Amino acid sequence: MNNAASGGEPTDPNGHLPDVQRAVEILLAAHHCAALTGAGISAESGVPTFRGKDGLWTKQGEPPPNQYRLFQDDPAAWWRRLQARREDPDELATALAEAVPNDAHFALAELERLGVLKHTITQNVDGLHRLAGSARLTEIHGNRALLRCTRCNDRRPFDEIPEALPPHCERCHGLLKPDTVMFGEPIPRDTLVAAMAEAGRADCMLLIGTTALVSPAADLAWEAYSRGAPLIEINLDPTVISDRCAVAIHGKAGEILPRIVDRLKRRLPAAP
Ligand code: OAD
């Protein structure tokens, strides 16, 4: 059944249409829209979230806060433990290894290609935004497929555990670690500067699948809000920032985002 008022779209069983339309208007009015994404955007790719009903930490408890200290104290032992875990992967490692981008990742990449989305800042280490085609991207918590030098921040592919443990940077001989930011580890300066610059110039911010609880990523959203940039939230559940959002749509990112992009495309001039 079609609804004439919705432009021939199927009827809107969850009642999101006015919010989707409002999100489209905000995106069309923006000059520098940024997105901040969290674990929820990859949930439909089978990657477990951290918090919430089915969250990894809800089931297993939060990991200890001193992971980075453990790494610094004895990097060789830390690397050997990682080697053992790779041979016997846990639920998260298995899910990450098998995950492919979902419709929400592809919709964001398309929004970037359309010139509407200028940058994506993700807290996810799964690399799914890259795989979906997002090019203007800051992975604020790192990327699981990369190694990073703790001294010069040079990054290189992380396919296998290096032979000599702990591994060192070929450029500066600094210690190498996985690019993924550990508990207790500061965000690498180059990444933080890039994320802050992008968020600082955003005149609209999409918040997708994030609790907006973890700093400094969440601060980027609050900072944009405090400058008057309208926030568009897409999340399964209300969050601490929902009340401040110009539009808060509560549903699956993989369903809502493609609808926003679809309606937005109808308003853009057709490509020559
Ligand atoms: P969380 O796991 O805390 O929250 C996931 C959010 O996604 C929740 O608000 C869910 O309601 C929402 N969600 C779940 N499924 C969804 C779906 N299909 N569509 C839309 N929303 C959905 O994840 P983050 O807020 O991203 O950092 O967590 C931030 C950081 O906490 C992580 O990057 C991690 C952790 O500390 C590090 O490990 C460094």
Choose the weakest-confidence range: 6-15, 150-159, 203-212, 253-262. 6-15
Say what the pTM is: 0.93
Give which of 180, 178, 179, 183 is closest to 57, Cα–Cα: 183
In this model, does residue 199 exceed pLDDT 60? yes
Contact predicate 121/138, CB 8 Å: yes
How confident is the model over 84-104, as a mean pLDDT?
92
Which residues are designated catalytic? 141
Of 13-27, 53-67, 78-92, 141-155, highest mean pLDDT: 141-155
Beta carbon of 206 within 6 Å of any ligand 1 atom: no
In this model, does residue 227 exceed pLDDT 70? yes
What percent of the chain is predicted at pLDDT more than 90?
A: 81
How confident is the model over 72-81, as a mean pLDDT?
96
Which token pair is 197? 């610059």
Q: How far is the CA of 169 from the centre of ligand 1 (A)?
A: 32
Beta carbon of 250 within 6 Å of any ligand 1 atom: no
How confident is the model over 138-164, as a mean pLDDT?
95
Report the C-alpha gap between 229 and 187 in whole angstroms.
24
